[in-house]
Amino acid sequence: MADDLDLLLKLQVIDYDLGELERSKEYLPDMMENLNREIEEAKAKYESATDQLDKSRISQKHLEVEVAAQEAELQKYQQQMMSIKTNKEYDALVAQIDTVKEAISSRETELLETIDLIGNLEKETVELKEKAAQIEEANTKQLAVLQEKVDSIGEKVSSKQQERNDVSSQIPRKTLSIYERVRRGKGRAAVVVVKKRACGACYKALTPRKVQEIKKRDKIYTCENCGCLLFWDDEQSN
């Protein structure tokens, strides 16, 4: 029975590995999707900043043209002052000059703000481009590793399944049936170590006699409470 117990423990490790491989079919694609999303988001931030920079440069040119046109208009009005003959004409021209000056002041303020924005965006786009390149390089390497793992899952599952068949074929049918029933029903380890003279799964206390019988390893014992198969390990059970 000691050999059967060792085989059950070996089978349990194989089943754990198979479970991990099955779970990896779900989480590996999710990890890859997150890495790709991170690359795309970094690129999108750079492209958005670049687009804003281009629009700001166009806006700067338009503002410069407007200011130049308004300054030309102001100069024209100032020249007309020399030929004014009546107070009425003078007042009207002064009003026009004041209006143009206000417009120039407003556009110049907007122009200075735009120039400052362009300076900040130029710095930001350089940083975002560098960051996007770093993220793409790092994530591409990780994606290659993950893709390799994804591609190898099928082969690993087949290998583990063959190993499982080899081990399970050596276990008595009745004992294997108990193991399979508990494993499927509990969704966790079916073979558990006795801990502090209690079942390592449900922590139900065992009688001293049951503990002594389990120590002998001459028979497979199960927990009367949860059905798990029990074994004694000198390092873990005391």
Sheet of strand 221-222: strand arrangement? 191-193, 229-231, 221-222
pLDDT in tens, 183-219: 888 677 899 999 999 999 999 999 999 999 999 888 8
CATH entry, 22-169, from 3.40.50.20, 3.30.450.40, 1.10.287.1490, 3.40.50.740: 1.10.287.1490
What contacts 202, CB < 8 A, 6 or more positions away?
A: 223, 225, 226, 228
What are the φ/ψ torsions at residue 22 (nearest 5 degrees)? Answer: -65, -40
pLDDT in tens, 36-46: 999 999 999 99
Distance separating alpha carbons of residues 235 and 97, to the nearest angstrom:
97
Would you state the pLDDT for residue 206? 93
Indicate the SS3 state at residue 229: strand
- Tell me the pTM: 0.69
Whether residue 195 contacts residue 158, with contact meaning beta carbons closer than 8 Å, is answered with no
Element (H, E) at 221: strand 221-222
Q: Where are the domains of the chain?
A: 22-169, 172-238
> Residue 193, exposed/middle/buried by CB under 10 A (0-12, 13-18, 19+)?
middle
pLDDT in tens, 144-176: 999 999 999 999 999 999 999 999 999 999 999
Statement: residue 2 has pLDDT above 70: no
